[in-house]
Amino acid sequence: MSRQPSEIAAARRRLAARIWRHTDGQGLITAPCRSRALESALALRLLQAQGFSGPERGRLIAFLERTRRTSTPGSLDSLLAGAALGTEAPAGASVERALDRFDHFTRGRKQVLMRAVRVVLDGAPVAGAAPPGRPPQERLTPWSTALSTACQVILGAAPGPPRLTTLLFAQRSPGIWEGHLLCHLLTLHALRRVPGQEAVVADGTARMLARQNADGGIPFICGEETYATAVAVVGLALGRSPDQGRPLLALADRLRALQDDDGGWAYAPDVRQTDVDTTGVCVEALRAVDPLRYREAINGAGAYLRARRGADGGFPTYLPGAPSEAVMTAAAARALDLDEPDTPELLGGALAFIAAHQSPQGTYGPGWSRCDAHAVFRTVLALRRARSLPDPGLRRTARRATESGLGHLVRTQNPDGGWGQREGEASDAISTALSLATLAGSPAAPPLVVHRGTGRLLACESSDGSFPSRPDSTGPRGLVFDVPVLSDVYVLLALARLATPRHARSQGVARSFRPGVPV
């Protein structure tokens, strides 16, 4: 056991050096997205429809062929690749029903999305495919509106002036609007059905091909640099050495410069739609580096979050009035400044919302991560802030929810010492890192559980110092995508929390909170 502290420190140094090497020279961690079968299949269909025969088409075909060979037979990736290549049966109902069991408030829109994908890949309408109308009170981001409109047109809705305006708006960017390639592709497939839009489709196709990855495939999004950088800054700032001060300031300054006029942050620098999740972690990053230097930005973020608080005390991902979510609420709760006079009320409502939405198993519903430990990590750190609140009943509620979350992690540790995304699944680096980041420093965490988990996490390191992992991010929710650097930054965060005494954490990353309040 005595070797682990030195092994943690060494792995942490190697990983930090690797992450520093992945900065882009402008204060951001490079965070490209890997190719995915869904977007690649849609891209191939788009090229086929236009009779495009350039080398990009051959590279797409090669990517989809590799995907079909290496994917589990019958999996969604296998079905999508096979349908696009024409080597297997049409996509059919299996693709359309891929998200039927996805239990989330966005389920209806996801089912319409998959129905539209089926129509594109099979090349023929689906009987009874008219899309159901969405609730008029549902608030959608601009890209969700564009996706919904594209699916309606693909499924046979008339592309009248309002719909056409929405589709063309999504193609107005000189690059990829909002960095969202799935939205880009589906709006092109919809516009392909509108006479007179051939030039727009050809131009959009060229811009899509400019984002083709080296492996020949097309990713879901262009990248996730802002979010990845913010998480990395939190990990780098924990127990940082004096020589890291100036480089960390460069990263934090870049994050500050990316703050939107509304006070929030988007997940990438070329994206305008801000969100509570990225805003929360950016606030933590700025506080970790220098809360006084970034006071104005932090105050602006506080106003942004307050404007999005729901009547139920929770917070949504994007827009005021949208359904609140536990992990988003945790992000906001962590970012709220304890020195503001209304924070006790806001924090109390947020923590009560989190506790009320915890399952009996200590987990939370599906969100932007498939990994149970991701939600537990975010919520446990937020629930610990209840110690600053005067209400003893709320403190007890938060303590019980914290114990339930920690208990889930202890109970679901695999025999190899790691954790999988869901109970009973094989261990992976991200799930193991987030579980350890939650357990680190907790009096309720059995030392042997942490020790075995740490050993498993250290064993995940590859020869180049990275920590490859099964991806956990989902987008649209229910469909997994891969930004590989996220595994490294999550592992760095775990190693930092394992190596840093709890007192130092409360005075370091949380020093912008009240001194002495543990996190």
Residues annotated as catalytic are 277
Helices (H), 50-106: 55-70, 76-85, 92-96
Residue type, 297: A
Euclidean distance between CA atoms 56 and 44, whole angstroms: 9
Residue 451: both structure tokens together: 């020790």
- 109: helix, coil or strand? helix
CA distance 345 to 244: 37
Instruction: Determine phi and psi for 357, rounding to 5 degrees.
Output: -105, 15
- Name 72's Cβ contacts closer than 8 Å, sequence gap at least 6: 78
CA angle 118, 123, 124 (to 5 degrees): 85
Residue 221 backbone phi and psi in degrees, to 5: -130, 165
Q: Is the distance from CB of 173 to CB of 153 less than 8 angstroms?
A: no
Cα–Cα distances in Å, from 6 out to 2, 10, 114, 400?
Answer: 8, 6, 49, 34
| Pair of tokens at residue 508 | 């370091």
CB 286 within 8 A of CB 297: yes
- End-to-end CA distance of the chain: give it in Å, rounded: 26
How would you class 291 by CB atoms within 10 Å of its CB: exposed for 0-12, middle for 13-18, buried for 19 or more? middle
Nearest residue to 234 (alpha-carbon basis) of 436, 14, 512, 516: 512
Cβ neighbours of residue 14 closer than 8 Å, sequence gap 6 or more: 461, 465
Could you tell me where the DSSP H helices lie in 133-197?
Answer: 142-154, 161-169, 181-191
Q: Is there a contact between 261 and 300 (Cβ–Cβ < 8 Å)? A: no
Residues 494 and 434 sit within 8 Å (Cβ to Cβ): yes
H-type helices in 412-472, by residue range?
Answer: 429-439, 447-459
- The values of phi and psi at residue 213, to 5°, are -75, 165
Sequence-distant (≥ 6) Cβ neighbours of residue 309 within 8 angstroms: 315, 332, 346, 349, 350
Check whether the bond before 476 is cis (ω within 30° of 0): yes
Query: CB–CB of 393/383 below 8 Å?
Result: no
